[in-house]
Amino acid sequence: MKILLLFPPSWLPSQPFLSLPALTGFLRAQGIEVIQRDINIEFLETILREKKAQKFFSRIKQELNKGPIRHHMDKYNLLREAVEYLPLASERIEEAKDVLRSEGFYDIEKYAESLALIDKYLELVGALYYPSTVSVYTNSTRYSVYSSSDLISAIEDEEENIFLDFFREHFLSSILDIRPNIVGISITSTSQLLPGLTLARLIKRANPDIHITVGGSIFTKLIDNLLLGVDAFFSFVDSFVVFEGEHALLELANQLSGGKDLSKVPNLVYKTDGRVTINEPFYIEDVNNLPTPDYNGLPFGLYHSPRPVLPVQTSRGCYWGKCTFCNLHYDHRYYRPKGIDFIVRDIQTLKERHQTNYFFFADECIPISTLKRLVKVLPDLHIKWIGGVRLEEGLTRELTRDVRRAGCLKLVFGMESYSQRVLNLMQKGIKRETVKRILEDCLEEGVATHIYTIVGFPTETIAEAIESVNFILENKRLVSSRGFSFLPCLYEMEKHSPITLNPSAYGLRRIMAPSKDDLSLGYAYEVKEGLSPQEAEALHEAIMHRVNETISPFPYNYSMSDGLLYIDRHSARTMEAGKNPY
């Protein structure tokens, strides 16, 4: 039995994502042959080549010669721009990738120029597929990713689906040559839906005997949609694994090689006798019985980073789980902490195996109790790390100092609002005076910070939203501190978030599921008080304009893993010079 695991575009190219290595580590420990491929970074590496640009250039000239009548005027103008500038961009594309993988990465001007060049290059080659676009970490089409009929149309669109064209030419044969029995595709974000499902359809049409299963948080949140009649994908996807996938994939492999009874596979959604079926109860993994994530086989030399920054976890699920706007707790069902010995094992193993001391704790948030245990063991590991923590009173100045001594260079905080009324309504369980104190402590102890806020939470007023932004942007010391980053997010009412259970308690007149979008991950809503969705969107746009004028996006607001490397390089050099890095 051979399993091929694929991580499709579009995702940030700085580091591997945790989903495939977690599954690979478990399955290999069970004796299953597993090949894992990060198609996201392979796709970028293949398209970002001068020789490939020359082929694009020839096709673009052919399209342009058909004249403006053949094309939408915007496409025609983009084709003209591509003919003029693509040769220049392609001559520098290898240099741009080399900068991001070498010491040139740490030159902020070269870093920003390389990212801009890569995005411009992708925009130019994408002229062939207008109005679709592709960038380093996302893609868009005129089709809705929240509609199954739109996605099916997009998957089959020969003119506008760049992934259909590209996967068929560059990836399909190498996938088929592996001769897998099972292909598992991890779809974690909406930006991966079109490329991931395009890949599934191509593989299934080429070899119907391969069992294709799709996992990830997107379809976990869409369980009810699949059960209520969204069956368009079952013509080329044999099953979906929802929630956690380790034992589900193991049992799927066992059944496909033996009894072929899919009803015994936990967490599986599949179609049988014309009906979509889900296997319950859902299997919850014991995190202390899971092996170290296995990154072997991933192309570390291709990532756009000079050093690996590896994701690890101290837990699964969210220990707080009360925030009324959030549905992150849904994916893992229950909070389960990992024992400190197992955390140390994972870090030591990965540090030695991949010669890196940079780690990203990919927990929803690390509890203060875990943090107190980590600071006792991490100093001996000599690692540099970043992680998310709640703004709780337990994060004292002393603990912040210990965290820094344990190698933490940055903490990620979901502040969400600086209005105590809004915080209470969100059930954040934090106080604004604690928020202010913790941020000051981080400044004093040399721990960089990233802050998330939400714009337009139900009943929030313009004044309250502006107060939260002002609290951040008018703190000149915070904004100018090394490694600081800030992202205000527009509120969206997500499926499975607590607010949907009692909308009237949040000043909402009603909530509505979009009628055309049978894959909708959220709801539209009408307010009785506070900012309407339209007003919130306009305000968010204005706030983002202000943020971008105040804070440079590179590198800290662009990529946290990139920022971790930058913070460490700056700290090391200033310490050598005998200065305080903060």
Q: For 18-39, what is each residue's pLDDT tens digit?
A: 999 999 999 999 999 999 999 9
Range scoring the smallest mean pLDDT among 70-79, 107-116, 495-504, 573-582 = 573-582
pLDDT (mean) for 41-58: 95
What does each C-alpha distance from 57 to 51, 121, 376 come to in angstroms? 10, 11, 57
pLDDT (mean) for 390-417: 98
Segment 120-149, tens digit of pLDDT: 999 999 999 999 999 999 999 999 999 999
Residue 330 has a pLDDT of 84
CA distance 406 to 582: 17
Residue 582 has a pLDDT of 43
CB 8 within 8 A of CB 40: yes
What's the angle, vertex CA 542, arms to CA 539 and CA 547, rounded to 5? 120
pLDDT category of residue 271 using cuts at 50, 70 and 90: very high
Entry field: residues in the chain: 582
pLDDT category of residue 572 using cuts at 50, 70 and 90: low
Position with higher pLDDT, 509 vs 331 = 509
Residue 358 has a pLDDT of 98
Residue 36 has a pLDDT of 98
Q: Which domains does the chain have, with CATH numbers?
A: 2-39+151-278 (3.40.50.2300), 45-140 (no CATH), 307-497+531-576 (3.80.30.20)
pLDDT (mean) for 345-359: 98
Residue 571 has a pLDDT of 77
Which structure tokens are listed for 545?
């304009």
pLDDT category of residue 333 using cuts at 50, 70 and 90: confident
pLDDT (mean) for 368-379: 98
Residue 134 has a pLDDT of 96
- pTM for the model stands at 0.96
pLDDT (mean) for 448-458: 98
CA distance 452 to 468: 11
Rg (CA), the chain: 24
Closest CA to 198 of 223, 149, 233: 233
- State how beta strands 133-134 and 139-140 pair: antiparallel
CB 391 within 8 A of CB 430: yes
pLDDT (mean) for 518-532: 95
Strand spans (E) along 144-217: 182-186, 211-215
Q: Indicate if the pLDDT at residue 116 is higher than 70.
A: yes
Q: Indicate if the pLDDT at residue 15 is higher than 70.
A: yes
pLDDT (mean) for 560-567: 97
pLDDT category of residue 229 using cuts at 50, 70 and 90: confident
| Residue type present at position 528 | K
Q: Indicate if the pLDDT at residue 65 is higher than 80.
A: yes
Distance separating the N- and C-terminal Cα atoms of the chain:
54
Question: Chain-wide mean pLDDT for the chain?
Answer: 95
Segment 188-225, tens digit of pLDDT: 999 999 999 999 999 999 999 999 999 999 999 999 88
Which structure tokens are listed for 376?
């006792």
Which structure tokens are listed for 430?
């934090």
Sequential DSSP letters for 457-474? -TT--HHHHHHHHHHHHT
* Percent of the residues in the chain that have a pLDDT greater than 90, as a whole number: 91
Residue 581 has a pLDDT of 46
CA distance 78 to 274: 46
CB 331 within 8 A of CB 18: no
- State how beta strands 358-361 and 384-388 pair: parallel
Range scoring the smallest mean pLDDT among 122-126, 186-190, 332-336, 483-487 = 332-336
Residue 394 has a pLDDT of 98
pLDDT category of residue 575 using cuts at 50, 70 and 90: very low
Residues pairing with 38 in the sheet: 7
CB 427 within 8 A of CB 322: yes
Segment 67-113, tens digit of pLDDT: 776 777 889 899 999 999 999 999 999 999 999 999 999 999 999 99
Angle between helices 19-29 and 246-257 (to 10 degrees): 50
Tokens 């996605």 belong to residue: 151
